[in-house]
Chain A
């Protein structure tokens, strides 16, 4: 082949991701295209042959990530609903994936979430015996439907059930989801964006925080250059660069310049990822009560205290490092109001903790700082690592999901409401589990001893957290005491989300690891 012909190729492969081979919601969250309603279905595989026939039909309508490239019109931008598929390890066994391929999967995925409970801190009220009924069964297959309206979701749901029936009922839809009216055995888990008093999507979760503002940005995402500030990795001189795609997608180089551990053949892993699915129940009444009680002794408004818990203000997501107190928030709001869309985006994400080394603005146990410390693990020692955020770069996760249930003014802890939380990463052990074990339920990396992260920590009613102040300011730090558990796990598992080609191979039964 002559080089001139080669040069005529439009793009250099490898510079961009093959978006149409990556499942939807991975490269860009569905919320961006107005899919505010979701249903999560879980199946058991009873007949592998018929299950593969079912998957072959479903694979034809599985949604890819092409819509993440706004320059291309795709089927997805015109479709009213999406469909995605993932497998537990038991599911891959049940669909008869060859032993040679099964052996290549990481151990934590093979073990499943329940067996990792002590690593995750799923103890006490989060222990598996309190999970929804469905998690007392063996789950094989996850099928998610996201859509513009509940009716669109329902239509796709019926279509999926029909495909199973027409291919000989190879899979069985499992019941056992709790519901808002006290049901214990619903056929699916619903999720939907919360709305404000006018019925408009609020983008908030049940504690009142604006959610899903800042997800990691990695190479190959079509909008990476416009969104990298505060969301990629932090380099020397306060520069931001997209993370390596291998942190989130199998078959691509990661931050260590290595390929993530993945099963053989390569085509089975290519463009796949691992998903952590967790139903996180929120004790809304407890949270509101605790915030009210603590605010009584706090020097500042209740909203400022709520912002300290999280690292962002509840109303508009203003980062507390840039709006450190009530007066600072007013200035920030004025600037935000006057800013155009791109600048608004930048103001919400483009920050670091370089001027807040002691945690006086964003507390060391605040949600944001624990989830993504950015460059702050250098503790002000410039050049401590190769790059300021080197330690955080291997611990990032893509967050997906939607709230479920309602939480009005009279809500109580027993109501079924919270977040369906889905984390996507190349290594569940290195990324999600590490953050959960070391940064949520333990505080040593932040010089906070045993103190847990305020919002998600598995508190027992005994623990504390410190809201730091400027050293030398003469003010005492504020102690949050007797922290109750605000968030409990109600079920979930670890899933493998194959690329589209890999899904078709699994469905065709032609995966060959030799």
Chain B
């Protein structure tokens, strides 16, 4: 599959949103608003989904019109016509495409290459998605996908997995910022990198003896082989000073 590689999988899901209104707001605008009220970083529900490197949600309103593709032939036919009349050149422009609906886009890079990994990942998405929004209200996953076409048939984790797989693209939209190691390994590595930099700065100019003593204490504290703790938290995006 074109969307896996190096231990990772790039998942892109486009769920069409129903055309219509919830009160005075279109379903798509309502979905956007719900996405807008999801907390981010460590407090994001996406941080609770095991093995997520990066994930985002957004509403795709339409495709963009790109006008006439550039080409490197000396002259194309429409340009030749425009010697006589501008309207022939205008007629040569491609027709504008429009999407039939607006889409909720879920895009994620996660650890795991196989189909089983994808199923497990989507199941976890369904089971672990639970969050409190900026207004203190608690929501499950249905709150976000509720207004998508045919989503009303999703009643269980298995329904959810097959719905998402139907909406998934077979294309690789990889986030260029992580390798194929497991999430825990990557978070630990980020933590160690940060702590080691700090250690080096704090002990600059000290004697070899002092540094050695401090180093043992440092290793005991940061436990390099323990992937559970201490480490960065899933969703963490900035260096902690403590």
Binding site for B on A (CB under 8 A): 1-2, 5-15, 18, 20-21, 64, 66, 72, 74-76, 251, 253, 257-259, 266-267, 270, 386, 500-501, 504-505, 508, 510
* Residues on A with beta carbons closer than 8 Å to the beta carbon of B23: 75
Most buried by B among A1, A64, A266: A1
Cβ A20 vs Cβ B26 within 8 A:
yes
| Chain B residues whose C-beta falls within 8 Å of the C-beta of A5 in the assembled complex | 16, 149-150
Residues in B53-102 with C-beta less than 8 Å from chain A: 61-62, 64-65, 67, 85-87, 90, 93, 96, 98-102
CB neighbours (8 Å) of A257 from chain B are: 65, 67, 90, 93, 96
Partner of A501, one of B19, B24, B29, B90: B29
Known: A6-B16, A257-B93, A386-B87. A18 touches B29 (CB 8 A): yes
- List the A side residues contacting B100 at CB < 8 Å: 6-7, 9, 12-13
Closest beta carbon of chain B to A378's beta carbon, Å = 14
Q: Provided the pairs A10-B20, A504-B33, A505-B36 are in contact, do residues A21 and B101 lie with their beta carbons within 8 angstroms?
A: no
Residues of chain B at the chain A interface (Cβ within 8 Å):
14-16, 18-21, 23-26, 28-29, 32-33, 36, 61-62, 64-65, 67, 85-87, 90, 93, 96, 98-102, 149-150, 166-167
Given the contacts A5-B149, A13-B19, A257-B93, A510 and B36 also touching, CB distance less than 8 Å: yes
Q: Which 6 A-B pairs have the closest CB atoms?
A: A14-B98, A386-B87, A10-B19, A9-B101, A386-B86, A11-B19
Residue on A nearest B65 in the bound complex, by CB: A253
Expressed in whole angstroms, the minimum distance between the Cβ of A33 and any Cβ of chain B is: 15
Chain A residue numbers with a CB within 8 Å of B64 are: 259
Q: Are A508 and B36 in contact (CB under 8 A)?
A: yes
Of chain B, the residue at the smallest CB distance from A14 is B98
* Closest chain B residue, CB of each to CB of A258: B67
How far does the alpha carbon of A68 sit from the alpha carbon of B62 in the complex, in Å? 23
Contact indicator A14/B62 (Cβ below 8 Å): yes
Distance in angstroms between the alpha carbons of A251 and B21 in the assembled complex: 21
Q: Which of B16, B24, B67, B149 contacts A74 (CB 8 A)?
A: B24
Chain A: which residue is nearest B18 at the CB level? A9
By the criterion CB–CB under 8 Å, are A9 and B67 in contact?
A: no
List, in ascending order, chain A residues with CB within 8 A of B67's CB.
Answer: 257-258
User: Chain B contacts of A258 at CB under 8 A?
Assistant: 67
Asked if A1 and B26 make an inter-chain contact with CB atoms under 8 angstroms apart, the answer reads: no
Contacts of B18 in A (CB 8 A): 9
For the complex formed, measure the closest distance between the CB of A76 and the CB atoms of chain B, giving whole angstroms.
8
CB proximity of A72 to chain B, nearest CB, Å: 8
Residues of A within 8 A of B19 (CB): 9-11, 13
Say yes or no: B99 contacts A501, CB within 8 Å.
no
Q: Is the CB of A501 within 8 A of B149?
A: no
Q: Which residues of B contact A259 (CB under 8 A)?
A: 64-65
The minimal Cβ–Cβ distance linking A501 to chain B, given in whole angstroms, is 6
Q: How far is the CA of A472 from the CA of B67 in the complex (A)?
A: 49
On whether A18 and B26 interact (CB within 8 A), knowing A270-B61, A386-B90, the answer reads yes
Q: Which of A13, A266, A504 contacts B101 (CB 8 A)?
A: A13
Instruction: Decide: A13 near B98, CB < 8 A? Known: A1-B167, A258-B67.
Output: yes
Evaluate contact between A20 and B167: CB separation under 8 angstroms.
no
Q: How far is the CB of B191 from chain A (nearest CB, A)?
A: 26
Per the bound structure, the CA–CA distance linking A1 and B99 in Å amounts to 14
Per the bound structure, the CA–CA distance linking A18 and B28 in Å amounts to: 10
Q: How far is the CA of A257 from the CA of B150 in the complex (A)?
A: 35
Give the one of A2, A258, A386 with max B CB within 10 A: A386
28 contacts across the A-B interface (CB closer than 8 A): A1-B15, A1-B167, A5-B149, A6-B16, A6-B101, A6-B149, A9-B18, A9-B19, A9-B100, A9-B101, A10-B19, A11-B19, A12-B98, A13-B62, A13-B98, A15-B98, A18-B26, A66-B24, A74-B24, A75-B23, A75-B24, A253-B96, A258-B67, A259-B65, A267-B32, A267-B61, A386-B86, A510-B36
- How long is the Cα–Cα vector from A1 to B149 in the complex, in angstroms? 9
Closest to B21 in A: A20
Structural contact, A13 and B102, CB atoms closer than 8 A: yes
- Apart from A9-B101, A12-B98: 13 A-B pairs, beta carbons within 8 A: A1-B14, A1-B15, A2-B166, A9-B18, A9-B100, A13-B100, A13-B102, A18-B29, A20-B25, A74-B24, A251-B61, A253-B65, A501-B33
Chain B residues with CB below 8 A from A2, complex form? 166
For B61, the closest partner residue in chain A by CB is: A270
User: Closest A-chain residue to B85, C-beta based?
Assistant: A386
Chain B residue with the shortest CB-CB distance to A15: B98
A259–B64 Cα gap in the complex (Å)? Answer: 9
Interface centre among B16, B18, B20, B61 (most CB of A within 10 A): B61
